[in-house]
Structure 1
Amino acid sequence: MLLFKLECKRLFAGTINKLVLVLFIVSGVFAIYQGALGYKSLRIDQYKSMVVFQKEREHVNSRETLPEAGSLAYYASAPTEWKLSPWAALFVGETPSSMVATKIRATALQSQAFNREIVNPAQQRAGGLDLGFVLVYFLPLVIGILTVTLISDEQHAGRWRLLNALPGSALTLLGKQMALRFAVIWLLVVILLVSAALILSLPFDALFWTVLGATSLYMVFWFALATLIMSFGKNSVVNSLAYLSSWVVLALLIPGAVHLYLSGQYQSDAPLEITLQQRTTLNDGWDKDKQATLDEFLTHETPWQNTAPLGEAFDWKWYYAQQHMSDLAVQSLVEAHIQNNQARQAQLQTLSVLSPALLFQLSLNELAQTSSGYQLKYQQQVADYHTVMRHFFYDFMFFDKPVTRQDVEDFPLFKAQVMETQKGLWKWLFSALLVLALCALAIARIRQVKPF
C-alpha cells in the first residue's frame, strides 16, 4: 500500500503529468459539449423541416380551391431524415458534410441530390473537435508523456542499476507503474464516456461497452509501443522523439498517404457530369416531340400506360415524364458513382489496418453509424422515397383524378429506416492479435534492458 501511494505521488508530482491529464479531461468535456450542441442543432433542423412541411400542408388544405396535382407536386418539398444515433454527437463522421434533413420534390432526383452537395465527403480528411478526435489523436500523446520515459528517468536518477540487482524488482516496479498509468487514463476515458452517456441519454448497452472495449484495445497498443521503445534503453530525449515520431507516422502520415492514394485511385468528377448531363437532357426535352417522350416514359412506368394522349396545351404529365427521363439518362453514371464510392470505402476499410489510429477512427464512425457507408444508405432511402412520392402524384396526373383534402392529408411522409451496425469482426480479431504480438515483443525486450 505504501508503494502504491508512493507511485501515485510520483505520477501526480510532475507539473507536465498533471497538466496533460487536465488538458485531456478538459478537451474531452469540451468535445462532448460541442458535440451535444451540434447534434442538437441537427435534430432541430430535422424537426423544423417536419414542422414547416406540416404547416405548408395545413395551408394548402385551408385554401378554398386546391391546386392541380402537377402544381402541388412541383411545390411540395418533403423533408427526409438521416436517423442519427446520439452517438453521432461523439463521433460525427460524415454528418457535417451531408444534409441530414434533405428536402425532396417530385421533380428530377439527381439535380436535387447533387446541387445540394455543398461539401464533397470524399475529400474530407479530418473532422472537427469531437470525442473521437480526442480519443484517436490526443489519447496516444497522453499515454506517451506519462510512460515513455519511465526507465530512462530511473536510469538518470541512478535507481535502475540498484533495482536490477534485486531479483525481479525492476520489472515488477515497471509493471506496477505502467498498470497505474493505464488505470488512471482508463478511468478518465470511462468518466468521459459515462458523462457523455448521461448527457446524451445513451443506454449502457452492448454498443457502449463495444466503444469502451475498442478504446481500451487502442490504449493497450500505445502502452505496448511505449514499452517497446523503452526497451532499447535510450535516454529520455531519444525515447520521447521515437514515440512522437511513431505517433506522427501511425496517426498522421499513414492515414494521409492512404487518403491520398484513394483520391488518386477513385477520383471522379461524376457529380458534376451527372448534374450537367441531367440538366442538358431536361432542357433539350422542351424542343423534342412531347408525345414521343411520354411514350418512352410509359415503357418504363407501365402502371400508367392507359393515360390519354397529349393535347396541344401544356400537360403536367409530360413535364414529370421528362423530369424522370432526365434521371434515367444519367442512371448509369449514378450507379457507377455509387459503386466507385462503395469500392473506395471498402478499400479504405482494408487499408485502415496499416494505421491503428485510422482503424480506430473508422471503427468509431461505424459504431456511431456516421460513416460514408451509412451516408450512402441514407441517400438510397431518399431515392426510394422519391419514387414513392412520384408515384403518388402520377395517379392524379396520368388518370386526371382531382386532388381532395384527404389526399393532401394522405401524402406519404418519409420514414427513416433503422440502419444496422455493420459487422467488422475480422478487423477486431486482427487488431487484437496485432496488439497481443506487440505486447509479447515489448515484454520480451524489456526483460533484456541492462543497467545504465
Structure 2
Amino acid sequence: MQLFKLECKRLFSGKINKLVLILFLLSGVFAIYQGAQGYKSIRIDQYKSQVVFEKERAHVTSQDSLPAAGSLAYYASAPTQWQLSPWAALFVGESQSSMVAMKVRATALQSQIFNREIVNPSQQRAGGLDLGFVLVYLLPLVIGIMTVTLISDEQHAGRWRLLNALPTSAFRQVCKQIALRFIVIWLLVVTLLISAALLLSLPFDVLFWTVLIATSVYMLFWFAIAAFIMSFDKSSVFNSLAYLSSWVLFAMLIPGAVQLFLSNQYQTQAPLQISLKQRIELNDGWDKDKQATLDTFLKHEPRWQNTAPLGEAFDWKWYYAQQHMSDIAVQDQWLDYLQNSYARHGQLQTLSTLSPALFFQLKLNQLANTSSENQTQYLQEIADYHTKIRHFFYDYLFFNKSITKEDVDNFVLFEAQKHTGEKRGTQGFWQLFFSMLVVLVITSLAIFRLKQLRPV
C-alpha cells in the first residue's frame, strides 16, 4: 500500500504529467462545447426549414384562390433532414461539411443536389474540433508521454536495481505503474463522456457503453504499444521517438495512404460531371420539340399517359417533363455515383483494420450517424422523397385537376429512414474481433519481453 501511495505521489508530482493531463481535459471540454455548438446550429437549421415550410403552407391555404399546380410545384420547397444521432455533437464526421437540411422541389433533382454551395466559407470553422478528434489523436499522445519512458526513467534515476531487489519482481511493479496510468487516463475519459452526456442530455444507454468500451479497447492498444516499446530496454529518447513514429504511422500515414488509394480508385469528379451534363440537357430542351419531349417522358412515366396533347401556349406539364428528362439523362451516372459511394465506404471499412485510429474514428462516426455511408443514405432518401413530390403534383398537372386547400394540407412530408445494416454489423463484429486479437498479441509479446528484463 505504501508503494502504491508513493507511486501515486510520483505520478502527479511531475510537472509534465500534470500539464499533459490538464491539457487533455481542457481539450476535451473545449471539444464538447464546440461540437455542441455545431450540432445546435444544425438542429436550428433543420427546425427553421420546418417552420418556414409550415408558414408558407399556411400562407398558401389562407388565400382566397390557390395558384396553378405548376406554379405551386415550382415554389413549394419541402424540407428534408439528415437524421443525426445526438452523439453527432461529439463525433461530427461528415455532418459539418455536408447538407443536413436540404429543401426539395418538383424540378430536376440533380440541379438541386449538386448545383449549390454546400459549405458557406464565411461560416466555416477554422480547425474544427470534436471529442472524436481528442479521443482518436490526442489520447494516444497522452498515453505515450506518461508511459513509454517509465522503465528508462527508472534506470536513469538508479531505481531499477532497487526494484529488482524487492521481494516482488520489477515486472509486477512496472505492471502496477502501467495499470495506475491506465486508470487515471480512463477516469478522465469517463469524466468527459459523462459530462458530455449530462450537458447534452444523452441517455446512458447501449450507445454510451459502446463508446466507452470502444475507447477502452483503443486505450489498451496504445498501452500495449508503449509496453512493447519499453520491453526493448532502450533509452528514453529512443522510446519516445519509437512511440511517436508508431503514432504517426497508425494515425496519419496509413489513414492518408488509404484515402489516397480510395481517391485514385473511385471517381471523385462524378458530382461535377453529373451537374454539368444535367444542366446542358435541361438548357437544350428549350430548343427541342416539346411534344416529342413529353411523349418520351410518358414512356418513362406511363401512369400519366392519358394526358391531353400540348397546345401552342406554354404548358407546365412540358416544363416538368423536361425537368425530369434532364434527370433521366444522368440517371445511370447518378446510380453509379451512389453505388460507388457505398463501395468506397465498404472498402474504407475493410482497410481501416490496418489502422486502429482510422477504425476507431469510423466506428465513432457510425454510432453518431455521421459517416460517409450515412451521408450517402441521406442523398438516396432525398431522391426517393423527390419522386413522391413529383408524383404528388403530376396528378394535377397531367390530368388538369385543381389543387384544393385540403390537398395542400395533405402534401407528402419527408420521413427519415433508419438504416440498421445487418451486413455491416457482421463485418463490424469481425473487425472488432480482429482488433481485440491484435491487442492481445501485442500485450502478450510485451509481457513476455518485460519479464526477461534484468538490471544492467
Instruction: Output the TM-score relative to the length of structure 2.
Output: 0.96
Shift of 1:197: 0.9
Q: What aligned pairs does 1:84-163 form with structure 2 within 5 A after superposition?
A: 84-116=84-116, 118=118, 128-163=128-163
> How many angstroms apart in 2 are the aligned matches of 1:380 and 1:417?
10
Shift of 1:300: 1.2
Q: What aligned pairs does 1:319-398 form with structure 2 within 5 A after superposition?
A: 319-398=319-398
- Kindly indicate whether the alpha-carbon contact (under 8 Å) linking 2:293 and 2:322 is maintained by their aligned counterparts in 1: yes
Establish whether residue 12 from structure 1 lines up as the match of residue 12 from structure 2. yes
> How many angstroms apart in 2 are the aligned matches of 1:448 and 1:358?
33
Shift of 1:43: 0.3
| Local SS of the residue matching 1:97 | coil
Q: What aligned pairs does 1:210-359 form with structure 2 within 5 A after superposition?
A: 210-359=210-359
> How many angstroms apart in 2 are the aligned matches of 1:257 and 1:82?
29
The superposition leaves residues 150-184 of structure 1 with CA deviations (integer Å, 9 ceiling, x where unpaired) of 10111111111222234542011101101110001
Q: What aligned pairs does 1:422-441 form with structure 2 within 5 A after superposition?
A: 422-423=424-425, 424-441=428-445
- Kindly indicate whether the alpha-carbon contact (under 8 Å) linking 1:35 and 1:89 is maintained by their aligned counterparts in 2: yes
Establish whether residue 443 from structure 1 lines up as the match of residue 450 from structure 2. no
The superposition leaves residues 1-27 of structure 1 with CA deviations (integer Å, 9 ceiling, x where unpaired) of 222211110110000000000111110
> How many angstroms apart in 1 are the aligned matches of 2:286 and 2:151?
79
| Local SS of the residue matching 2:96 | helix
Aligned residues: 447
The superposition leaves residues 119-151 of structure 1 with CA deviations (integer Å, 9 ceiling, x where unpaired) of 69xxxxx98210000000000000001111110
- Kindly indicate whether the alpha-carbon contact (under 8 Å) linking 2:38 and 2:96 is maintained by their aligned counterparts in 1: no
> How many angstroms apart in 2 are the aligned matches of 1:163 and 1:301?
82
- Please provide the CA RMSD for this pair: 1.5
| Local SS of the residue matching 2:319 | helix
Shift of 1:285: 1.1
| Local SS of the residue matching 1:95 | coil
Shift of 1:418: 2.5
Which is worse superposed, 356-365 or 54-63? 54-63
Which is worse superposed, 292-301 or 221-230? 292-301
Shift of 1:118: 2.7
Match of 2:54 in 1: 54
Shift of 1:434: 0.6
> How many angstroms apart in 2 are the aligned matches of 1:274 and 1:237?
54
The superposition leaves residues 195-223 of structure 1 with CA deviations (integer Å, 9 ceiling, x where unpaired) of 11111111111111111111000000000
> How many angstroms apart in 1 are the aligned matches of 2:97 and 2:373?
13
> How many angstroms apart in 2 are the aligned matches of 1:251 and 1:155?
30
Shift of 1:383: 0.6
- Kindly indicate whether the alpha-carbon contact (under 8 Å) linking 1:228 and 1:441 is maintained by their aligned counterparts in 2: yes
- Kindly indicate whether the alpha-carbon contact (under 8 Å) linking 1:49 and 1:101 is maintained by their aligned counterparts in 2: yes
Shift of 1:267: 3.2
| Local SS of the residue matching 1:83 | coil
The superposition leaves residues 401-420 of structure 1 with CA deviations (integer Å, 9 ceiling, x where unpaired) of 11111111111111122333
The superposition leaves residues 312-354 of structure 1 with CA deviations (integer Å, 9 ceiling, x where unpaired) of 1111011101111110110011111112222211111111111
- Kindly indicate whether the alpha-carbon contact (under 8 Å) linking 1:98 and 1:117 is maintained by their aligned counterparts in 2: no
> How many angstroms apart in 2 are the aligned matches of 1:307 and 1:118?
38
| Local SS of the residue matching 1:229 | helix
> How many angstroms apart in 1 are the aligned matches of 2:161 and 2:117?
63
- Kindly indicate whether the alpha-carbon contact (under 8 Å) linking 1:362 and 1:371 is maintained by their aligned counterparts in 2: yes
- Kindly indicate whether the alpha-carbon contact (under 8 Å) linking 1:92 and 1:127 is maintained by their aligned counterparts in 2: no
> How many angstroms apart in 2 are the aligned matches of 1:318 and 1:163?
88
- Kindly indicate whether the alpha-carbon contact (under 8 Å) linking 1:109 and 1:383 is maintained by their aligned counterparts in 2: yes
Q: Which amino acid in 2 is paired with 1:19?
A: L
The superposition leaves residues 50-95 of structure 1 with CA deviations (integer Å, 9 ceiling, x where unpaired) of 0011111111122222100000000011110111111001000100
- Kindly indicate whether the alpha-carbon contact (under 8 Å) linking 1:152 and 1:234 is maintained by their aligned counterparts in 2: yes
> How many angstroms apart in 2 are the aligned matches of 1:85 and 1:295?
45
Q: Which amino acid in 2 is paired with 1:65?
A: S
Q: Which amino acid in 2 is paired with 1:206?
A: V
> How many angstroms apart in 1 are the aligned matches of 2:81 and 2:144?
42
Shift of 1:117: 5.3
- Kindly indicate whether the alpha-carbon contact (under 8 Å) linking 1:229 and 1:239 is maintained by their aligned counterparts in 2: yes
| Local SS of the residue matching 1:107 | coil
Match of 2:186 in 1: 186
- Kindly indicate whether the alpha-carbon contact (under 8 Å) linking 1:69 and 1:396 is maintained by their aligned counterparts in 2: yes
Instruction: Output the TM-score relative to the length of structure 1.
Output: 0.96
> How many angstroms apart in 2 are the aligned matches of 1:229 and 1:268?
40
- Kindly indicate whether the alpha-carbon contact (under 8 Å) linking 2:231 and 2:453 is maintained by their aligned counterparts in 1: yes
